């Protein structure tokens, strides 16, 4: 099978994830007891941006002429979806576990460890793809695709939390304290939805795609240096066959 041939599952997972993010965001807005225009604006922005991202990603993933497409997608997007599952676990720990377990200090540790693991895994993936293919652009693309996968996973977890488990967040002592200090005149459900929905968008575009692009560029730069120092001038097909 030629290098550009890619299994169908990455594009299917992209579509399912993006659609669910959009649906869950709108369901979360609809379930807020007090109608709030800011909540609907945030939810609509998340939903539309997720669908636009999926449409663009679907098109890019289907371009058969793209060099190293199979390697980039399977490693970049494949690892990205796995890292998205890690973000979902982090979100669950922070918002669903008992307050005696998810204390402020424990959350800080889990947040930092998760962010570090995601960044390191993205870096290693992009560097490995660069070395394997001998092309820094392929490594950069792997980093971006990893960000797409992890961002969609994280935003899916956050949107699902708001749509179905918002009451758990409202009972969180840390969230209650924050609400009382910053916006006690606002309905609690509205405040929780506003703050968490902003986090959903941030996970998708900042901690997901933007971080994947920055880390991917750094990793690809290092990877191409390794390739040149190694003096590997073999054709990409020969390296890929190993």
Give the pLDDT mean for 81-91: 96
**Which is more confidently placed, 232 or 161?**
161
Closest CA to 148 of 42, 7, 13: 13
Place of tokens 């494949």: 78
Q: How far apart are CA 80 and CA 233, in angstroms?
A: 29
Indicate if the pLDDT at residue 242 is higher than 50. Answer: no
From residue 71, how far is each of 47, 79, 118, 142 by CA, in Å? 29, 12, 19, 8
Q: What is the pLDDT of residues 70-83, one digit of tens each?
A: 899 999 999 999 99
With 70 as the cut, is the pLDDT of residue 134 above it? yes
Cα–Cα nearest to 213, from 114, 120, 141, 152? 141
- Residue 155 reports pLDDT greater than 70: yes
| 3-state SS assignment for residue 229 | helix
Lowest mean pLDDT among 13-27, 51-65, 95-109: 51-65
* pLDDT average, residue stretch 166-183: 93
Measured on CA atoms in the order 209, 215, 217, 220, is the torsion positive or negative? negative
- What number is the average pLDDT over the span 157-162? 96
Q: Which helix (H) or strand (E) holds 208?
A: none
The band of 230, judged by pLDDT with boundaries at 50, 70 and 90, is confident
pTM of structure = 0.89
């Amino acid at each position: 099978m030629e290098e550009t041939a890619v299994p169908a599952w990455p594009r299917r997972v992209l579509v399912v994830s993006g659609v669910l993010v959009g649906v869950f965001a709108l369901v979360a807005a609809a379930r807020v007891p007090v109608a709030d225009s800011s909540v609907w604006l945030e939810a609509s922005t998340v939903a539309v941006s997720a669908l636009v991202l999926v449409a663009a990603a679907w098109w890019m993933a289907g371009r058969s002429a793209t060099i190293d497409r199979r390697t980039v997608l399977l490693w970049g997007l494949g690892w990205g979806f796995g890292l998205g599952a890690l973000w979902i676990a982090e979100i669950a720990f922070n918002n669903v576990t008992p307050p005696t377990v998810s204390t402020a200090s424990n959350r800080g540790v889990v947040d930092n460890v998760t962010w570090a693991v995601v960044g390191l895994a993205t870096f290693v993936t992009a560097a490995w793809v660069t070395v394997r293919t001998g092309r820094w652009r392929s490594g950069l693309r792997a980093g971006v695709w990893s960000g797409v996968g992890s961002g969609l996973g994280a935003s899916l977890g956050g949107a699902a939390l708001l749509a179905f488990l918002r009451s758990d967040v409202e009972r969180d002592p840390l969230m209650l304290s924050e609400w009382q200090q910053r916006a006690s005149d606002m309905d609690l459900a509205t405040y929780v939805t506003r703050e968490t929905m902003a986090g959903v968008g941030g996970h998708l575009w900042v901690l997901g795609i933007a971080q994947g692009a920055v880390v991917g560029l750094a990793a690809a730069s290092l990877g191409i240096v390794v390739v040149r120092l190694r003096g590997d001038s073999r054709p990409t097909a020969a390296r890929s066959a190993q």
